[in-house]
Amino acid sequence: MLFWKCRATKNNQLSKTRRYTPGGAYSRRRSILLTKYNEKKPKNQDLAKMIDKHVNDKTAERIEDCNNFMTFIADCECVKGKQIGGSSCNNRLCPICMFRMSRKDALKIHVMMRYLEDVYGLVFVMASFTAPNVKGVNLKDEISRYGKAFKNLEKRKDVSTINKGYIRKLEVTYNSNETITHDMWHGLNGRPPMGEYFARKGLSIGDVNPNYDTYHTHYHVIFAVNKSYFKHKEYYIKHETWLTMWREAMNDNSITQVDIRRVKKNPNGKGGSASEIAKYVAKDSDYLINQEVFDVFYTALKGRQLITYNKLFKDANKKYKAGELDHYKTLDTTEYVNMLHYAWGGKTYNETERRQLTEEEKKEFNGHLVNEADMSDDQIKGCHEYEKKTNTNNERCNSDNQQQQYNGILRPNRLPCKNASNARIRYSQRPDISIRQIPSKPPP
């Protein structure tokens, strides 16, 4: 398909500047909206094949068809948008559903923390509890052992005295590296640094990985504590004490570390502790490696409570679901003017329909509160980075009059925006008219 790039002149006319191809910059920029979905959908298809023997036919079909069709509302440039419709399967291991749920959980946790800080004057401590890796046959029992150990830990006097409530999230990773890599040593790509651990064993980068083909279970926990926790020695728990208590709770002296740190304020709610707690129980790049690994993950995680709310966090969770904490959310300032429909085409999502929102729909979809955290800002960050590299200005749509003038000949890829009579516009060939109806030159 060929694209024409035109611009509006002072006389409100369209003039041809050059031909534009789908592989060009515009096509890449336009795809930012679906970057994560195009990445996750093929993995969803892998999940459908691997999970087939664990579920009934109806469930397997629902997972396979997850988000085959999606509806988005988007801003004028169709760069920033949000999904408002789709055939979601809501399976806890579905990469697409996990991605969306993690964004919603991140916002909820951020709001609850703001509520507890505002009403009770609490501060927060982020803790990560871990233990040595285990083989797949022992993973199910290991997760159960973690649950019992944490119950013992929270009953300890030192912990029960300072704990006003916590959020606990289970996470499991799989080690598929046969040798020690640079990323493993330094803790890159979201992994904890293992250099000190390997060094104690006399190992270095490139050596055989002793944890190959093993599973690593750990808890991420946010404790709500009084401000006095950091000021008075009688309340403050040293790192060495945390480590000792966790060793005793797990009855395992081979545990070498726990990670304890104060949670810093993050007014935007992006990244940080909320995202750490809200992220996936397991990475799809781990459990979808092969059928054997998937079977271990599925069996071990089936029926597990993945995220737990305690005391004040439990009460805050109820208030959040009832809408009583909505005043802690921010207003979605994006002006949604377009509706886009997508269908999965086997390798990527294809746009099947695009139209402007009606006035009633604009009132319905605009001016609402944000309902999910933009944890990584992938879409907007990617767009801004691309614009910075290419030194291009924001390209906007043309006026309503120009679209109406040529609507019978060419279909604009971008719908009109307000106050954009002097902006650029791109046209593409309409698939619903014959080739003879498409002029060899742009309209005068």
What percentage of the chain reaches a pLDDT higher than 90? Answer: 60
Residue 82 is given by DSSP the state E
Q: Please, which residues bridge with residue 115 across strands?
A: none
Q: How far apart are CA 418 and CA 426, in angstroms?
A: 16
Q: How far apart are CA 102 and CA 113, in angstroms?
A: 16
Q: How far apart are CA 142 and CA 395, in angstroms?
A: 54
Residue ranges of the alpha helices (H) in 121-237?
139-155, 157-162, 182-186, 195-200
Task: Provide the pLDDT confidence category of residue 35 given band limits of 50, 70 and 90.
Answer: confident
- Provide mean pLDDT across the span 339-345: 94
- Tell me what pLDDT residue 72 has: 94
Task: Tell which residue, 160, 90, 79, 66, has the closest CA to residue 397.
Answer: 79
pLDDT, tens only, 300-337: 999 999 999 999 999 999 999 999 999 999 999 999 99
Task: Tell which residue, 172, 178, 94, has the closest CA to residue 139.
Answer: 172
- Provide mean pLDDT across the span 293-298: 97
Give SS3 for 104: helix
pLDDT, tens only, 406-438: 333 333 333 444 433 333 333 333 333 332 333
State which amino acid sits at residue 265.
K
- Provide mean pLDDT across the span 153-166: 96
- Tell me what pLDDT residue 197 has: 82
Domain boundaries, the chain: 3-88+336-368+396-437, 95-176+213-328
Per-residue b or e along 397-413, where b marks 16 or more CB atoms closer than 10 Å to that residue's CB = bbbeebbeebeeebbbb
Nearest 10 degrees: Cα torsion 105, 111, 115, 116: 40
Task: Provide the pLDDT confidence category of residue 365 given band limits of 50, 70 and 90.
Answer: very high
CA atoms within 13 A on the CB side of 68: 10
Mean pLDDT of the chain: 79
Is the model's pLDDT at 183 over the cut of 60?
A: yes
- Tell me what pLDDT residue 196 has: 83
pLDDT, tens only, 391-407: 333 333 433 333 333 33
DSSP for 370-421 reads P-S--SS-HHHHHHHHHHHHHT-PPP----HHHHHHHTTT-EESS---TT-T
Is the model's pLDDT at 142 over the cut of 80?
A: yes
Per-residue b or e along 258-289, where b marks 16 or more CB atoms closer than 10 Å to that residue's CB = bebeebeeeeebbebbbbbbbbbbbbbebbbe
